[in-house]
Structure 1
Amino acid sequence: MIFESHAHYDDEAFDEDREELLNSMRENGIEYVVNVCAAADGLEKTLELTEKYPFVYGAVGVHPDDAGKMNEEILQRIQEYCRLDKVVAVGEIGLDYYWDKESHEIQKKWFEAQMEVARSERLPFIIHSREAAQDTLTMMKGLRAAEMSGGVIHCFSYSKEMAKEYLDMGLYIGIGGVVTFKNAKKLKEVAEYAPLEQILLETDCPYLAPVPHRGKRNTSLNLPYVAEEIARIKGISCEEVVEVTCRNAKKMFGIKD
């Protein structure tokens, strides 16, 4: 059974068939899903999904693109929600200099604040970092992330050398549909280099569907394509990729069968 470590089923892209799709997960080999909050006004949507579906867990946090909407009240709510049984991580949080919707200083301020919530609540973190490699790494080191309760660099998009920095901290690398793209040379190198014991499978759905569905709405049902490509790159069986990454996710999120 596959563990989907990063999905956004609260997204409006699933409004027409969300229930039908989620109810089909287990029969299609998806054992658990972590629904990851991104928007400042979307925290409760993730909690609702965790309450409705036994196999859905939640991560609470605000994406850097929404950092300008953050305030102390929202931060306090995130901290309170971290104490709910089915909330298993703080995320997704971090830096995004690609869209650059918010100033870098505002992004850094709320990235650090949410990391401190993860520290105090002893939960793992889910990091979003796009076009912000050095600043993210500098902040992670400054925050002593390696001494916290674990975490994942989601949708990893940097070099093998940068991956080593995070792997050496004991963190996980999140790999999704991009690894199936022909032009994803860097990510294929990272997938080959990183120990399987430090890789998580993810989709970031509805975004980043793998080949052969690239450009379409993504769902967790596409995760076998990701597992197959990692298996091909590493020269191992797809079953081993699924088994080990599932074990990794359960360990990181603290989920016991």
Structure 2
Amino acid sequence: MLVDSHCHLDFPDFSEELPDVIARAEGAGVSTMLTICTHLSRFERVRAVAERFDNVWCTVGIHPHEAGSETLLDAGTLLTLADHPKVVGFGETGLDYFYEHSPRDDQQRAFRLHIEAARQADLPVIIHTRDADEDTLAILREEMKAGPFRGLIHCFSSSRALAEECVEMGLYISLSGIVTFNKAEELRETVRDLPVERLLVETDAPYLAPIPKRGKRNEPAFTAYTAAKVAGLKGLSAEDFAAVSTANFHRLFSKVVA
């Protein structure tokens, strides 16, 4: 069975047919889904989705796009909300210098507070990084020196150097449908060389549908296409990679009840 380690099931794209979306995922062998919080102000609806379905879990956090408008004073708010049994991690957080919808200082401060929460709660942090490899690595290095924490780089499409250093730090790498795209050969070469024990798969649904569904609304059932591509890159059968990546997910997200 597979895990979709990053999707957004609270988004309006799914509101009219959420039970069908979950059923299609299960039919495609995706037994567990992690729906990700992007706005602290919308956390209750994220949590409500996780509460509604036994095999859906959630996180709490603020996307870097919202770091300027949804200000965190400290890690306490995140820690309080993470006390819920369905909340298994923090984020997504991190740095996005491609769009820069929020000031860089605000993004960096929020990123550090999410890491602080992850360290205190011993739950993983879900990291978004786009066009910000240097600052992402600088913050991760500094924060790891301050005290270890668990986490992953989600929807990985950055440099080989970032992937390799993050793996050395003990972080995981989550791969989305991007790895199936025709122009993603550099990414595939990096994935071939990463340890399979550090790899997860995700959809980032409703975005980034993999080939052969590219251009359509993405959904958790499509995790199977990404997993098949990664399995091939690692020289594994689909079944073996599913087993390894699912074990990786449960090792990282240890609060999830199998």
Shorter-chain TM-score range = over 0.9
| 1:244 match | 244
Contact 1:146 1:171 in 2 (8 A): no
- With the length of structure 2 as denominator, give the TM-score of the two structures: 0.95
Superposed displacement of residue 177, structure 1: 0.3
**Distance between the aligned counterparts of 2:158 and 2:71, measured in 1?**
30
Letter in 2 for 1:228: A
- With the length of structure 1 as denominator, give the TM-score of the two structures: 0.95
Superposed displacement of residue 249, structure 1: 0.2
| 2:164 match | 164
Q: Which moved more, 1:17-26 or 1:211-220?
A: 17-26
| 1:85 match | 85
Superposed displacement of residue 145, structure 1: 7.0
| 2:19 match | 19
| 2:207 match | 207
Q: Per the alignment, in what secondary structure is the counterpart of residue 128 of structure 2?
A: strand
**Distance between the aligned counterparts of 1:94 and 1:35, measured in 2?**
17
**Distance between the aligned counterparts of 1:145 and 1:242, measured in 2?**
33
**Distance between the aligned counterparts of 1:36 and 1:74, measured in 2?**
20
In the TM superposition, 1:115-130 aligns within 5 A as 115-130=115-130
- Length, aligned pairs only: 257
Contact 2:75 2:116 in 1 (8 A): no
Contact 2:21 2:220 in 1 (8 A): no
Residue deviations 1:198-235, cap 9 Å, x none? Answer: 00010100000001111210011111111111122222
In the TM superposition, 1:137-176 aligns within 5 A as 137-144=137-144, 147-176=147-176
**Distance between the aligned counterparts of 2:45 and 2:80, measured in 1?**
15
| 2:55 match | 55
In the TM superposition, 1:166-205 aligns within 5 A as 166-205=166-205
Contact 2:67 2:106 in 1 (8 A): yes
Contact 2:28 2:224 in 1 (8 A): no
Superposed displacement of residue 256, structure 1: 3.9
Answering whether residue 31 of structure 2 is matched by residue 31 of structure 1, we say: yes
**Distance between the aligned counterparts of 1:173 and 1:44, measured in 2?**
27
In the TM superposition, 1:130-141 aligns within 5 A as 130-141=130-141
Residue deviations 1:39-70, cap 9 Å, x none? Answer: 23221111101111111111111000000122
| 2:106 match | 106
**Distance between the aligned counterparts of 1:107 and 1:22, measured in 2?**
32
Please list every run of 5 or more consecutive structure 1 residues that lacks an aligned counterpart in the other structure.
Answer: none
Residue deviations 1:95-139, cap 9 Å, x none? Answer: 000111111111111111121111111111100000100000000
Superposed displacement of residue 15, structure 1: 1.7
Contact 1:4 1:220 in 2 (8 A): yes
Contact 2:206 2:218 in 1 (8 A): yes
Superposed displacement of residue 73, structure 1: 6.6
Superposed displacement of residue 76, structure 1: 3.8
**What percent of counterpart residues are identical?**
35
Letter in 2 for 1:250: H
Letter in 2 for 1:37: C
Q: Per the alignment, in what secondary structure is the counterpart of residue 118 of structure 1?
A: helix
Residue deviations 1:130-183, cap 9 Å, x none? Answer: 010000000000111795341110011112222110010111101010000010
Superposed displacement of residue 25, structure 1: 2.8
State the Cα RMSD in Å. 1.6
Q: Per the alignment, in what secondary structure is the counterpart of residue 20 of structure 1?
A: helix
Letter in 2 for 1:32: T
**Distance between the aligned counterparts of 1:79 and 1:150, measured in 2?**
15
